[in-house]
Amino acid sequence: MINESAVFWSRVLTELTLSFHIIYATIGVGVPLMIMIAQWVGYKNNDEHYILLARRIARGFVITVAVGVVTGTAIGLQLSLLWPNFMQLAGQVIALPLFMETFAFFFEAIFLGIYLYTWDRFESQKKHMLLLIPVAIGASMSAVFITIVNAFMNAPQGFDIVNGQIVNIQPVLAMFNPAMPTKVAHVLTTAYMTAAFVLASIAAYRLIRGSDHVYHKKSLYLMMKLGLVFSIATAVVGDFSGKYLAEYQPEKLAAAEWHFETEKGATLILFGVLDDGEVKYSINIPWGLSILAHNNPNAEVIGLDQFPEDERPPLYIHYLFNIMVFIGMFLALVALVFVVGKWRKWTFTNAKWFRWIIVMGGPLAIIAIETGWWLAEVGRQPWILRGIMRTAEGATTSDSVDLMLILFSIVYLVLGIGSVVVLRRMFRNNPIEQEIADRIAERGGDLQ
């Protein structure tokens, strides 16, 4: 028996938890690679500024990891409490990637602890830098395995259902489902891109506030270059994702693009509003959707008319898709202008107004991550396990979920405010100017 109230509050609580967790999870996946690259650049160029950059980022990273562990644990708890029917059906299949995700996290955490503890204990920076390789690998693999679980929910395979029970389970086949390659690649590239723009945002803000130190300028330049590289990679992967949806989840693509009728030479619709089923005030790109879906301007694209109304995703995901794409394009453009501007010595790249645009890049990247995940999850509706189990069928029937929502909301509020306060105090009490002065005193000369 389905309890509609329990289903609603379960979805709200799950969305809240994932929306909060994805911020720390994205930082947790992307930042280790940024730390490794910064320290590698410092070692290669014998530049202490980049090594200090790696060191300071690593300190702040520990705080975000701690919060990510708490929220990640909450997700695991809520899977069992809020979605017991889903876990009863699919739990045996997703157990392997969930276990591997935990293993990858501990692999990352062990080497991160060793890396932090052994600062200044290695005569060779190269040997110390090598500790970051398993940290970055562990962080990325943690994202890979948990994303595989989500991919399985979109393209379930590797089992048979007999009398309502899953049998003949093939965990490896289930993990390597059709949705896995594009979803994993998209999660990784967007995490790296977001981490780069967040760190660039911090550096630009410090420059605006008057800390015109070469350390912040080097940090900004490095992170904007990395942001440009990974934003381009994200765009490429996004194109593959569109082609995956056209073949395997056409209803999701049709809802996201407001493509109501199956046709050849389909138009790509950007923004707009719906008025009695008619799209108004939109930006239309002729043949754009056919090109996105099949690389052929005359290709046929399946519309929502091919699916029953109760199997169509909510149409508001169209706006989520547009926001995600336009933010990504904007960030790529800003990074390109900055990098080319530095190369061509355009003075406006040092202007206060342009640095404020870069500062906006950090929050905008987080918004793009959020809308991307909402698109991924809402776009699968009404299914929790596509084609097999509806979301309402997988939910709990408890009447206490609304109380759980209040309690978890308080926890997330405390964690969010607490992490910001701790990070601010950590860096305010240990300014970069003082740390550079200490390093100069240790070295007996200027830093490069």
Q: Say if residues 301 and 263 touch (Cβ distance below 8 Å).
A: yes
3-state secondary structure of 287: coil
Of 416, 383, 324, 368, nearest to 17 by C-alpha is: 416
Q: Say if residues 232 and 335 touch (Cβ distance below 8 Å).
A: no
| Sign, Cα dihedral of 322, 325, 328, 331 | negative
Which residue spans within 78-236 are E strands per DSSP?
160-162, 165-167
> Which ranges constitute the DSSP H helices of 46-179?
48-82, 84-117, 125-130, 132-154, 171-175
Looking at residue 334, what is its pLDDT? 92
Q: Given the structure tokens 């690593």, which residue do they identify?
A: 58
Tokens of 244: 């995956």
pTM: 0.90
Looking at residue 426, what is its pLDDT? 77
Partner residues linked to 385 by β-bridges: 389
Q: Say if residues 329 and 270 touch (Cβ distance below 8 Å).
A: no
End-to-end CA distance of the chain: give it in Å, rounded. 69
Looking at residue 344, what is its pLDDT? 84
Separation between Cα atoms, residue 281 and residue 273, nearest integer Å: 6
Separation between Cα atoms, residue 269 and residue 282, nearest integer Å: 6
Looking at residue 46, what is its pLDDT? 80
Separation between Cα atoms, residue 6 and residue 400, nearest integer Å: 8
Looking at residue 448, what is its pLDDT? 54
Which residue spans within 281-432 are E strands per DSSP?
283-285, 300-301, 383-385, 389-390
Q: Say if residues 96 and 175 touch (Cβ distance below 8 Å).
A: yes
- 59-96 pLDDT, tens digit per residue, is 888 888 888 888 888 888 888 888 888 888 888 888 88
Tokens of 22: 């994805």
The helix or strand, by DSSP H or E, that contains position 273, with its residue range, turns out to be: strand 273-275
Separation between Cα atoms, residue 394 and residue 83, nearest integer Å: 5
Separation between Cα atoms, residue 79 and residue 50, nearest integer Å: 41
Separation between Cα atoms, residue 75 and residue 79, nearest integer Å: 6
* pLDDT tens digit at each of 448 positions of the chain: 677 888 888 888 889 888 888 888 899 889 999 999 988 988 888 878 888 888 888 888 888 888 888 888 888 888 888 888 888 888 888 888 888 888 888 888 888 888 888 877 777 777 778 888 888 898 899 889 989 988 998 888 888 888 777 888 888 888 898 989 999 999 999 999 999 999 999 989 888 887 657 888 888 999 999 999 999 999 999 888 888 888 888 899 888 888 888 888 888 888 888 877 777 887 888 888 888 888 888 888 888 888 888 888 998 898 999 999 999 999 999 999 999 988 888 888 888 889 999 999 999 999 999 999 899 899 888 988 888 888 888 888 888 888 888 888 888 898 888 888 888 887 777 766 666 666 665 655 555 5
Tokens of 110: 């062990």
